[in-house]
Chain A
Amino acid sequence: DAMVIQNPRYQVTQFGKPVTLSCSQTLNHNVMYWYQQKSSQAPKLLFHYYDKDFNNEADTPDNFQSRRPNTSFCFLDIRSPGLGDAAMYLCATSRDPGQTQETQYFGPGTRLLVL
């Protein structure tokens, strides 16, 4: 029944060591989002894909990249994680951004720890 799946749920990496977080969806939604959520803060949108079109938020650091090889999968790559990148990373999907009332469905998140 899982609709938005994130792996792993917990990820530990070393300072400066590249890390990839993955997200998959069984909803066949057009749009996939990546959010960063730090402790006791609101989720902050990093970027999103509408199909294959990539949309980067203006304040997302270059250190964060994303790939979407197909409809079902989306990856978040952190090229050189810093201590400040430790956070929960949430993946979400929605069917069509043109339908602005469309609900976003969130995955359970991946908690990233940087040592």
Chain B
Amino acid sequence: AQSVAQPEDQVNVAEGNPLTVKCTYSVSGNPYLFWYVQYPNRGLQFLLKYITGDNLVKGSYGFEAEFNKSQTSFHLKKPSALVSDSALYFCAVRDMTGANNLFFGTGTRLTVIP
């Protein structure tokens, strides 16, 4: 069975500092991994995905994520946090056996402090 885990419910970081939001996965076979962000009163917005190729994936709004097969991780990163990055972040993995649906983590609330 596929699953992802986000070990931190809340991450606080000062504006301008680098940020990391952690995600680990459990899949059989090669994973398709995703990060989504949710701003207040908005739907889940796609940030980036890893399917194959380079382990470092670049996405929207300056975010990137590093796929690490040995550590089964897919941490989301940004070199310099903005206050506007404050939101709820979800890691997800695609169901490889079904109808393309996603399995999500519990989400991490990122707060960037001015």
Q: Do A and B come from one complex?
A: no
Binding site for B on A (CB under 8 A): none
Binding site for A on B (CB under 8 A): none
